[in-house]
Copies of this chain bind each other. A is one copy, B any other.
């Protein structure tokens, strides 16, 4: 099979020396790639500089990226060239990217200049006005080499990134798509329910749902949910990798 795996965590630049980083060691993605490679499959591995990666080998192609925008572009390029048999999207993707950074003083100056024009607004008018004002301030393009440090409070505007998982099915209708969902401190019931919702919304074949609080080194509880709602549970990264590889291989054989 021809497999595409995303792994690691994206980062979004605030300025030339600071970023917002999604923590992900990439260790789970590495084991999944190694397990597919050991079965003789080809792996295209999209990952970030900070993450660990499988050792170089003939059937492995590494595609390095940094931001969510990079990831989107890299995937579109890969999908243009190849119809993958499966896409395993384990990367921790930033939901938001940096839009602008203002000192409290700048923000207040800009907002008060707008607000002072309003005469006796109702709360609803104020809300609409603030919504518009924030968009205008956020969209102010700034060339920020290094954010200001002479203020007691900074306001960082973040705007929504495109949802990568949402485009996988559309761009690769033939692929067996495995999405990932990480939650923090929820019940197993909620984890499965959220996983199923994401599976249906994004037309995935499987979702691997996991909770940060049940991950500790190689101990890593993961619940693989399929489109019929059936679940299989793994307790380590190696078990998660085996579960994913077996289920993708089975589904692929049954498709033929």
Assess the A20–B20 pair: CB atoms within 8 A. Answer: yes
Interface string of A135-166 (1 = CB under 8 A from B): 10010000001100101111111111000000
Assess the A108–B120 pair: CB atoms within 8 A. Answer: no
A109 to chain B, nearest CB (A): 7
- Known contacts A131-B104, A134-B104; is A155 also within 8 Å of B153 by CB? no
Which residues of chain B come closer than 8 Å to A230, judged between CB atoms?
Answer: none
Q: In the bound complex, what is the Cα–Cα distance between A152 and B163 (angstroms)?
A: 12
Q: In the bound complex, what is the Cα–Cα distance between A157 and B158 (angstroms)?
A: 11
Assess the B160–A151 pair: CB atoms within 8 A. Answer: yes
Q: Does A113 contact B (CB under 8 A)?
A: yes
- Known contacts A18-B22, A138-B153, A153-B99; is A120 also within 8 Å of B123 by CB? no
Q: Does A21 contact B (CB under 8 A)?
A: yes
Q: Does A55 contact B (CB under 8 A)?
A: no
Assess the A23–B14 pair: CB atoms within 8 A. Answer: no
Assess the B184–A17 pair: CB atoms within 8 A. Answer: yes
Interface string of A206-233 (1 = CB under 8 A from B): 0000001000000000000000000000
Which residues of chain B come closer than 8 Å to A182, judged between CB atoms?
Answer: 17
Which residues of chain B come closer than 8 Å to A108, judged between CB atoms?
Answer: 127, 130-131, 134
- Measured CB to CB, the nearest residue on chain B to A11 is B21
Q: In the bound complex, what is the Cα–Cα distance between A89 and B5 (angstroms)?
A: 41
Which residues of chain B come closer than 8 Å to A184, judged between CB atoms?
Answer: 15-17, 145-146
Assess the B145–A185 pair: CB atoms within 8 A. Answer: yes
A29 to chain B, nearest CB (A): 15
Which residues of chain B come closer than 8 Å to A121, judged between CB atoms?
Answer: 116
- Measured CB to CB, the nearest residue on chain B to A99 is B153
Query: Can you give 17 A-B contacts (C-beta < 8 A)?
Result: A16-B184, A19-B20, A19-B23, A95-B149, A96-B154, A108-B127, A112-B123, A112-B130, A116-B121, A116-B122, A134-B153, A135-B153, A146-B184, A153-B160, A155-B155, A155-B156, A155-B158
Chain A residues with CB under 8 Å of chain B are 11, 14-23, 50, 92, 94-96, 99, 104, 107-109, 111-113, 115-116, 119-123, 126-127, 130-131, 134-135, 138, 145-146, 149, 151-160, 182-185, 212
For the complex with contacts A17-B22, A120-B120, 20 further pairs of A-B residues with Cβ separation under 8 Å are A16-B184, A17-B212, A18-B94, A104-B131, A104-B134, A107-B130, A108-B127, A108-B130, A108-B131, A109-B127, A112-B126, A112-B127, A116-B126, A146-B184, A152-B160, A153-B158, A153-B159, A153-B160, A154-B157, A155-B156
